[in-house]
A and B are shown apart, each in its own frame.
Chain A
Amino acid sequence: MRVRVDGEEFVAEPGETVAAVLRGSGRDAWRTTRIEGRPRGLFCGIGVCFDCLVVVNGVRDVRACLRLVADGDDIRSQGWEEVPS
């Protein structure tokens, strides 16, 4: 499977989580916090903490630790830029 991480193409295996793909791309943080702008990645690994949020195919707030990748997924780190209208 082929997926894109912040525009760059990577190969992924079926059954891999988005978090695994992100780590495989050399990242251990992909979300910026709202107040302090701090980096966050995985913390609980099982869908409880919501630290690992990422944008998948244009949809925000996807838990990278839970979501399995699908072929062609467009994965982007999540920040606080205003949504285009």
Chain B
Amino acid sequence: MSQANGSVATSPAALDTQPMLDIRGLNVYYGESHILRNVDMSVQRGQMVCLIGRNGVGKTTMMKTIIGLLSPRSGSIVLEGKEITRLSPDRRAKAGIGYVPQGKDIIPRLTIRENLLLGLEALPPGSAKSQTIPDDIFELFPVLKTMLNRLGGDLSGGQQQQLAIARAMMGRPRLLVLDEPTEGIQPSIVLEIEAAVKSIIRETGISVLLVEQHLHFVRQADWYYAMQKGGIVASGPTKDLSKDVIQEFLAV
């Protein structure tokens, strides 16, 4: 993969140490209410990073700002050395971000197949887009293969979540952003989704940014950030997650 943008540092060493995602001094408002306060956060290459925090602290706001549904009042978002703070969501998807929103946002009156094919839109322009669904997508979630012609809106919540992740993977992202992928989903499917995310990381080596409440899933990550009232208040390797931190930041 070659970077076309000339302003980007291109020596191999620089590319390797460059973080996948680097966020500096992010301030986001909803009207006049200040939601994100001076957030710094980064995701290294191949890393899985988990953002934790209680309900309503601003985790989803953070994810929406990363994909470009919200624009920050100040601060910068840099993806692989390329500034994306002012890009529209579709350009960010093409720059390599795969987004699975909290509400899943399956397009309800398109079939499963069509929903999956929409995932191809993120591929850079010019790359040959065969309108087919590769096998590795079905290996992640075999259940999808059996119902390609059903409407997205008719799936159960768990199935929609699997579809949303599969759809994001269709675009071959280099950073996968997952906003509470296990929220409101029955325990057996939670394990399936967890296994799928782990297998994605193993097979493709992409970076993952995860918002999660299930402790078991949180522990799969390499690094955590804890958020409170719109600011990052703690961070570190997940193996160091102490009981106190868990008590304080997870709704367990």
Do chains A and B interact in one complex?
Answer: no
**A-contacting residues of B (Cβ < 8 Å)?**
none
**B-contacting residues of A (Cβ < 8 Å)?**
none
